[in-house]
């Protein structure tokens, strides 16, 4: 496409001013592609600054890597990659009893979520207005746009509003209804935080599993620190997501006396700068769009943190939604319908990767935990030892991405 063609396409765009709620992964990725196609993105984020910390996220297959390459951030992500090898399940004494292949956990490229967010922010900050420390309070749509009110800022008008604000999406609640209608709790809660690499882990991790509980550590940032991860089986707990003290008390109650490194990590938890706690769930919706509002990423089709597909799915969703808006010259009715058509099968497949994982990672009974620990010892010797990794790769590749820039040029 020539510069003249690109300018002609931009001049033909309608609905250029787009508000995005959420500055984690899906939001900045969408902002990048919207700007590249000639739109004017604004991102509002409840947190006062970029969220640091978080677990490692991975990308696998050409569908994911091609988007990162086209965004020009693949080299930055390669420099930030964790370089993780295999993960080991250990017994109470810390002795490895079973190894799980790196490809299953890390894919082709694994980075810390905080590092990914920073790289996406740096790639978009020059052409995207970021509003930190604020949140949407109401959406009023009319034939010409959406009037948006905020907790702190003055009301503003936008042509379109996109919710990229995660599992507990505020945008989804305002535009589609209460969370309980769409979020399926998988019977597990999780916590993660940064700690010292006191086990001397070298680009690897250890996990210890008991009935209804799993605690793990893996090295991060070239072994200079580690991430502590806790999973425990539980009905959905009614805990305020901002009440860190109550969350830590619940975690302490569950894991005290659990064995291995549990006690040490519970002590470290109280001093962690980036403690994160949440339920593990999936989002299922019949439609991700309503009027001038659309959802992407975890807000629309969260596959759960246990699926290993969330970040890649968010990345693909951002690419497709922005591309369809550009291909439709900003006609949101046409673009939103095409977005749903392109993404539905892919998102469903990614969600299936999360189905049942919770019961396998955090078995409810001692008998099942013992069986799984014994079974994992045998995996390296079984004919289908790489089956899970192959299924994950096939799922990640199960979409044919349209070349929107070539399509728009044509």
pLDDT of res. 230 = 95
pLDDT at residue 18, rounded to an integer: 98
Give the per-residue pLDDT at 409. Answer: 72
pLDDT digits (tens, 9 = 90+) for 58-79: 888 888 999 999 999 999 999 9
Predicted local confidence at residue 155, as pLDDT: 98
The verdict on pTM exceeding 0.95 is no
Of 225, 226, 266, 227, nearest to 247 by C-alpha is 266
pLDDT attached to residue 269:
96
User: pLDDT tens for residues 167-206?
Assistant: 999 999 999 999 999 999 988 899 999 999 999 999 999 9
Q: Residues of the chain whose pLDDT is less than 70?
A: 1-11, 53, 101-107, 356-360, 363-365, 368-389, 410
What is the CATH architecture assignment of 3-409?
A: 3-Layer(bba) Sandwich (3.50)
The pLDDT assigned to 104 comes to 61
**pLDDT score of 233:** 87
Residue 88: per-residue pLDDT: 87
Q: What is the pLDDT of residue 52?
A: 76
Strand partners, 396: none
């Amino acid at each position: 496409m020539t510069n003249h063609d690109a300018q002609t396409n931009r001049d033909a765009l309608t609905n250029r001013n787009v508000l995005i709620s959420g500055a984690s992964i899906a939001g900045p990725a969408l902002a990048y592609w919207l700007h590249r196609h000639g739109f004017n993105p604004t991102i509002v984020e409840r947190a006062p600054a970029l969220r640091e910390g978080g677990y490692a996220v991975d990308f696998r297959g050409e569908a994911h890597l091609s988007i990162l390459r086209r965004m020009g951030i693949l080299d930055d992500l390669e420099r930030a990659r964790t370089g993780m090898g295999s993960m080991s399940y250990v017994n109470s004494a810390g002795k490895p009893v079973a190894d799980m292949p790196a490809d299953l956990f890390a894919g082709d490229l694994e980075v810390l979520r905080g590092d990914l967010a920073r790289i996406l922010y740096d790639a978009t900050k020059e052409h995207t207005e970021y509003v930190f420390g604020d949140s949407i309070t109401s959406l009023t749509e009319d034939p010409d746009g959406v009037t948006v009110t905020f907790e702190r800022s003055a009301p503003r008008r936008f042509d379109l509003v996109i919710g990229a604000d995660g599992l507990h999406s505020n945008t989804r609640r305002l535009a589609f209804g209460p969370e309980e209608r769409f979020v399926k709790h998988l019977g597990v809660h999780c916590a993660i935080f940064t700690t010292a690499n006191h086990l001397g882990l070298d680009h690897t991790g250890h996990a210890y599993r008991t009935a209804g509980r799993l605690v793990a550590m893996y090295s991060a940032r070239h072994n200079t620190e580690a991430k502590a991860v806790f999973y425990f089986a539980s009905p959905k707990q009614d805990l305020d997501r901002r009440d860190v003290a109550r969350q830590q008390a619940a975690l302490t109650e569950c894991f005290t006396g659990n064995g291995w490194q549990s006690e040490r990590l519970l002590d470290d938890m109280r001093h962690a700068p980036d403690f994160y706690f949440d339920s593990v769930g999936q989002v299922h919706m019949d439609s991700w769009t309503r009027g001038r509002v659309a959802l992407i990423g975890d807000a629309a089709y969260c596959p759960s943190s246990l699926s290993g597909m969330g970040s890649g799915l968010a990345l693909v969703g951002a690419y497709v939604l922005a591309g369809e808006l550009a291909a439709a010259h900003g006609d949101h009715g046409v673009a939103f319908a095409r977005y749903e058509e392109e993404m539905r099968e892919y998102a469903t497949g990614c969600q299936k990767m999360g189905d049942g994982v919770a019961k396998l990672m955090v078995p409810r009974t001692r008998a099942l935990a013992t069986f799984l620990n014994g079974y994992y010892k045998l995996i390296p010797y079984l004919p289908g030892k790489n089956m899970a990794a192959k299924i994950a790769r096939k799922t990640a590749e199960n979409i044919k991405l349209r070349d929107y820039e070539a399509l728009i040029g044509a």
